[in-house]
Amino acid sequence: MQGKHTTICNYIENVLDSVLSDEASTIKQSYLVLEVIKEPYGFLFIPRYPTNLVLNTDTYYRIYDIISAAVFPEYTCVRPTSMQLVEVDGEQLATARGFYFPGYKGKKQRFVGTITKIVADYDLNKEIPLMRGLTVGRNATTWIISGNTGSGKSYALRYLEEIISRLTNQNGDEPAQVIMIDPKKSDGARYAKKHSEIKLLIPEDSDRPEDFLTRVNAELAAVVNEMQLRQSKLYEVSNKISTDANEINVPPIFVVLEEMASLTLGLASTSRQVKDLYRELELIALLGRESLINLIITSQIARNDIVPIPIRSQMNVRILLGRIDKATVQYLFPSMIDGLSIPIGGLGTGIIEINDGKHYGIEPLAMPTITKGEES
């Protein structure tokens, strides 16, 4: 990796000098900061050996905390989920490695407008826009949205529902299939009621918790069966090693589970129905990508007893809205317990981590504001 010593680098070095020199005066002038001006953008912190700096995780996030606040809002630093120690090209051994802090100039902007206006410049079968400058690749097929009451989970889910209703198969002649599961008969159910193309599962008035969950499990089992059929057909017809079900021209399927905690409320975690639920969801989360089976889960909190680790660990997109503190980040962003990103205020705002091969860590998020003009 290479970088260039720019004006912002002088500023960062002065900031680091003023903070770190209080801890160890010999640190001053023992490092260099470079700006990475080609993708992947960001900054390099290069210590000159011998140095009393220990390049470990604690030092990495200590320096991140200093730099990220100092350069905002002219630059936004992305908080990596692990220490980024990289080789510096063309340097002698004393300066041949450094910390890499991903980032970009400015800050990404919230979309405000109609859905048609927001998506006009994007190919939705390739990426889903969340902010101006922030998109999620369609290879990220599992989402979890968490946040306290009033944080904007339903607001975020409404936007995603509008997006996925516009997705199709590869040829563009068959729309995405959406299965909405809403135990609370809340926003998701009311949205689906107005859109007959969405398959809606809600409890009947006479249902016990286990009755509704049994029907949900049957629907999920049917999705898993379709996933296996697609995998078999793809295996038979494709000569490619890396591929997905776009090759057989089937539409994506989205399973949307709103407020997952409500689905198992009143049932023991050891009950057969709950175990079946977790098994089907784990299969979809683990194996759904190639067959274009997508999973979106919302939950006020993603505790282990609500979203088990085997499911949660497969989530490609993790969104936390509303209050950001040690208590709320521990399940989706455990590495953030010390040192939090800079939040953006307002409804539907928080932080996001995207695992689609193009993103590096945790970023601020402000979900789009859909204006009137398109009633759905």
151 is in an annotated binding site: yes
Residue 149 marked as a ligand binder = yes
Q: 288 among the known binding-site residues?
A: no
- Check the annotation: does 150 bind a ligand: yes
Known binding residue 153? Answer is yes
Q: Is there a binding annotation on residue 326?
A: no
Q: Is 21 annotated as a binding residue?
A: no
Three-class SS of the chain: CCCECCHHHHHHHHHHHHHHCCCCHHHCCCEEEEEECCCCCEEEEEECCCCCCCCCHHHHHHHHHHHHHHHCCCEEECEECCCCEEECCCCCHHHCEEEEEEEEECCCECCEECHHHHHCCCCCCCEEEEEECEEEECCCCEEEEEECCCCCHHHHHHHHHHHHCCCECCCCCCECEEEEECCCCCHHHHHHHCCCCCEEECCCCCCCHHHHHHHHHHHHHHHHHHHHHHHHHHHHHCCCCCCCHHHHCCCCEEEEECCHHHHCCCCCCCCHHHHHHHHHHHHHHHHCCCCCEEEEEEECCCCCCCCCHHHHCCCCEEEEECCCCHHHHCCCCHHHCCCCCCCCCCCCEEEEEECCCCCCEEEEEECCEECCCCCC
Known binder of ligand: residue 373?
Answer: no
Annotated binding site for ATP: 147-154
Annotated binding site: 147-154
